[in-house]
Amino acid sequence: MTILFWEFMQKCLPFLNWEFIQQYLPLYERAAWLTLRLGVMGILLSIAVGLACAVIQYEKIPVLRRVVAVYIEISRNTPLLIQLFFLYYGLPKVGVRTSPAMCGVAGLAFLGGSYMAEAFRSGLEAVEPIQRESAFSLGMTRTQAMAYVVLPQAVSISVPAFVANVIFLLKETSVFSAVSLMDLMFTAKDLIGMYAKTTESLFMLVVFYLIILLPVSVVGTLVERRLRYAGFGS
């Protein structure tokens, strides 16, 4: 099956050097796993940060609400590349040293947390106030009303924005190469610099990013369809 696949691809794209592609395919596979692993870790942290920030804004907690607002503005209005440079090259100046992997995860979480916060906040504000009041009338505490009534509906409403943010953050992993991480982008640039095989290197880069991103998009669409009618009485 593998031989037939390669023969088919060679006939479809004869202008590519398939010997070069087969030789360096394992290198791209390792880079893809690294990219995916760091991306997932950063996204999980950004979800936690975003959810906490959204709840703080929704509950209008004094002081913390202002801190969250400042964080969101700084995070959303600075590129991830600059944030990575600050973490990797700036923090060691004050005695804080981080590994490239930790720097990449922290930078992605810092950037993604603000986008996730806005997505979750819009979901929380879309839930009808009467539902929270009904929960209070049943004897629920504020925490119980948030956990069992408001938050499940808010999350389902936020699914489209959430999926878009996940895809956006996975694509942002392409700047990890700036801090010497052997991710997909670093691998492609390295091979282009050494062998001048630009077309083949970029072809494999695009293919592996599609392999990572397309399943996320498809699963997100399916989940969105199942949770589309999360509003009260639907």
In this structure, are residues 121 and 151 in contact, taking their beta carbons and an 8 Å threshold?
Answer: no
> Which structure tokens are listed for 184?
């997909």
CATH classification of 40-226, choosing from 1.10.3720.10, 3.90.1150.10, 2.60.40.10, 2.40.50.140? 1.10.3720.10
In this structure, are residues 162 and 116 in contact, taking their beta carbons and an 8 Å threshold?
Answer: yes
pLDDT given for residue 229 in this prediction: 53
pLDDT digits (tens, 9 = 90+) for 209-218: 999 999 999 9
Give the C-alpha separation, 196 to 5, whole Å: 26
Confidence of residue 177 (pLDDT cuts 50, 70, 90): confident
Domain boundaries, the chain: 40-226
The structure's pTM equals: 0.87
pLDDT given for residue 3 in this prediction: 54
Helical spans, DSSP H, in the chain: 2-12, 18-59, 64-76, 80-85, 100-126, 129-137, 142-145, 151-157, 159-172, 184-195, 198-226
Give the C-alpha separation, 56 to 209, whole Å: 35
Whether 230 has a pLDDT exceeding 50, the answer reads: no
What is the residue type of 126?
A: A
Q: Nearest-CA neighbor of 41 among 103, 88, 121, 86?
A: 103
Confidence of residue 43 (pLDDT cuts 50, 70, 90): very high
pLDDT given for residue 1 in this prediction: 42
Give the C-alpha separation, 191 to 187, whole Å: 6
What is the residue type of 147?
A: A
pLDDT digits (tens, 9 = 90+) for 130-176: 888 888 888 888 888 888 888 888 888 888 889 999 999 999 988 88
